[in-house]
Structure 1
């Protein structure tokens, strides 16, 4: 479940099955209920002390399917997902997402691999609930979103040390519809619209957040390193930065990994860092 002490708490979890059709073709099927961690409102919920209203704590509920082909040098993949978004006193929403990409390993030996490719992600939400007034969800929910990336990945090992460095550059475009201040409460919405019209209070026309459309550069960079300290103990560190929509995100973490069985021989790469169990299904 989401952390104890949040104003709104939710049970979360998921199931995933990975399978293979041939030695080159694999697939994955998943269903999940995940916390939406875009903002304090969507993740934890909020309470307005003046009115006593409480809302937030949004979850995404749905399924994801993916299909991939890889011959050891080249590969391609596609995926599709449906998610229903719901929260306490938050308007419900539906999202449809898809994407795919191709890649090639331009250099590969026993200890390192350099991979380049191109990928895209498409998604659409029924409603724009990106804002924070009562009934809004506080999560990015565009009516149209497209991104085209050129990713590069270098991964390998040097003795007991394994590493994975990734970067991408691309272009992203999104469009958001106008959205009512209070999508669940007709009385609050009517009063806000009347105030905006008659009092000239500086509220947006019709008490709606205006729609917008933007195109810009997307980028990301991440690095993971892990060192096998002992046959059953490894130390790792990870850092990343990137952008999406109006957000800039930085992440840094260190971790210890303990294995119940001894890890001997050559270390496999790339390393898999310890990550949060609260990530969304699309991640």
Structure 2
């Protein structure tokens, strides 16, 4: 009965009362331990290494029918204490993408610093500051095509620039977030110091309809494909700023996944894309996937599946002349992906290795050099970017690990490579998570939890 009372208090939002009841219930009915050497069995006290260990395995019965003293109660208690714990997180996130210097070439370092602070009962507020530095290289003044496909150079007739400055940007993004049970919200700004600034944020609500999970989200997020799309840049001829794209829209997601051998999910997203002195745009994306857990244990998981995607933009805005947005925007994109991932966890260490292969077909329409300026377009002799279409293939590989250095400190790292004929980014992140109130309630997660920049929300 005490366990059921705890669950009622938790659903009503009285988390501190729920924790107190849960602790008293477990004190009266402790769990017999079958093994002291695996995370597969619950340990409500510190292990010999000083690290708190709790079982992750869900109950066989419905939570409301679990008897007092079950292993599931310790996990529930740990999750509740986690929400009442102050966390300080930071990371160094590096992304590199080769491309045309001064245009699609991209080197970005983002350093988020995050404080998760519990508030009343089951509420939590998050304060974030991200230092962002981007370098896109320099236009080659000796390359006529590079010069003509940047800014308004193709429309320039007299006194045209003969040299170009390095394309770079740096700034600090600020963000505040709020979380209560299955509701999340955040609000902030793209980095102060960029040539363009936009307010960003979102709200997300998760619901359950029997075994089906429902996710509803409204968000406004930056387009971080290139320096032009994220930070904006300055036209070398007129000095006017353009770029700094944001995508505003909604997402509806459904899932049917109880953590068993098979699970499925799908979502639909529609967005409007706007920026400074650029043509407006919109996109629609539909994705669906099947999860297949070949090995599905508490501390080991081998999974595969199948993912399909349909995606398309109203206009092609992927170039770097004045009025274009600098982000990949095919009018039709279809892909099928097969992933394969393996995760394992020990007392202090967890790691994940994985990859995927995919096949796709895309179509990109022709686009004018200057979609927002008829005079520039006329001065360029009505120059256009050619249409293209055809099949393609891609693969990716990644590895990640997380280690519990002390009862309150976790460090981790992730490396990811993606390869396709015209897109080959490399990403690296090193992060640290610190429980400021002492021992962390949960052990290292089976699936590592990198600290991500605000721009990836």
Instruction: Tell whether the 8 Å contact from 2:232 to 2:243 is kept in structure 1 after alignment.
Output: yes
Mapped to 2, the partners of 1:163 and 1:64 lie a distance apart of 31
Give the structure 1 partner of residue 183 of structure 2. Answer: none
Does the Cα contact within 8 Å between 2:370 and 2:376 map onto a contact in 1?
Answer: yes
TM-superposed CA distance for 1:108, in Å, is 1.9
Secondary structure class of the residue paired with 1:3: strand
Structure 2 unaligned blocks of 5 or more: 1-188
Match of 2:296 in 1: 108
CA–CA distance in structure 1, aligned partners of residues 280 and 433 of structure 2 = 39
What is the alpha-carbon distance in structure 1 between the residues aligned to residue 374 and residue 220 of structure 2?
29
Distance of 1:240 and 1:137 partners within structure 2:
26
Deviates more, 1:175-184 or 1:13-22: 13-22
**Would the aligned equivalents of 2:411 and 2:431 in 1 still touch at CA under 8 Å?**
yes
Aligned to 2:237: 50
Partner of 1:270: 447
Aligned pair in 2 of structure 1 residues 7, 228: CA closer, same or farther (>3 Å)?
Answer: same
Instruction: Give the 3-state SS of the residue equivalent to 2:377 in structure 1.
Output: helix
Q: Structure 1 residue 222 and structure 2 residue 398: aligned?
A: yes
Q: How many Å separate the matches in 2 of 1:86 and 1:108? A: 44
Which of structures 1 and 2 has the bigger CA Rg?
2
* Superposition deviation, residue 266 in structure 1: 4.6
Shift of 1:110: 2.4
- The counterpart of 2:218, out of the listed 4, 9, 31, is 31
Per-residue CA deviations over 1:61-85 (Å, capped at 9, x if unaligned) read 0111110111411011111000100
Please tell me whether residue 239 in structure 1 is matched to residue 427 in structure 2: no
| 1:214-264 deviation digits (Å, cap 9, x = unpaired) | 311111112221001112110100110114672211011111101234225
Aligned residue for 2:352? 164
Aligned to 1:190: 378
Of 248-257 and 211-220, more deviation after overlay is shown by 211-220
Bigger strand share: 1
Q: 1:264 to 1:32 in 2, by over 3 A?
A: closer
- The structure whose residues are more often helix, as a share, is 2
**Structure 2 residue 216 is the aligned partner of structure 1 residue 40:** no
In structure 2, the residue matched to 1:15 is 203
Q: CA deviation at 1:19?
A: 2.1
SS at match of 1:189: helix
Q: Is the 8 A contact 2:402 2:444 kept in 1?
A: no
Structure 1: where are the runs of 5+ without partners? 194-205
Counterpart CA distance in 2 for 1:264 and 1:63 is 34
1:82-121 → structure 2 map (5 Å cutoff): 82-121=270-309
Q: 1:87 to 1:180 in 2, by over 3 A?
A: same
| Structure 1 residues 180 and 265: CA distance shift in structure 2, 3 A | closer
Residue 177 of structure 1, aligned match among 362, 365, 371: 365
Q: Relative to 1, partners in 2 of residues 1:268 and 1:118: Cα closer, same or farther, differing over 3 Å?
A: same
- Hey, what's the Cα distance between the residues in 2 that align with 1:15 and 1:222? 30
- Partner of 1:12: helix, strand, or coil? strand
Q: Cα offset for 1:268? A: 3.1
Q: What SS class does the counterpart of residue 90 from structure 1 fall into?
A: coil
Q: Which moved more, 1:90-99 or 1:147-156?
A: 147-156
List structure 1 segments (4+ residues) > 6 angstroms apart after TM superposition: none
Query: CA separation in 1, counterparts of 2:435 and 2:368?
Result: 51
Secondary structure in structure 1 of the residue aligned to 2:298: coil
Give, in angstroms, the shift of residue 166 of structure 1.
2.4
* CA pair 75-171 structure 1, distance change in 2 beyond 3 A: same
Aligned pairs, number: 267
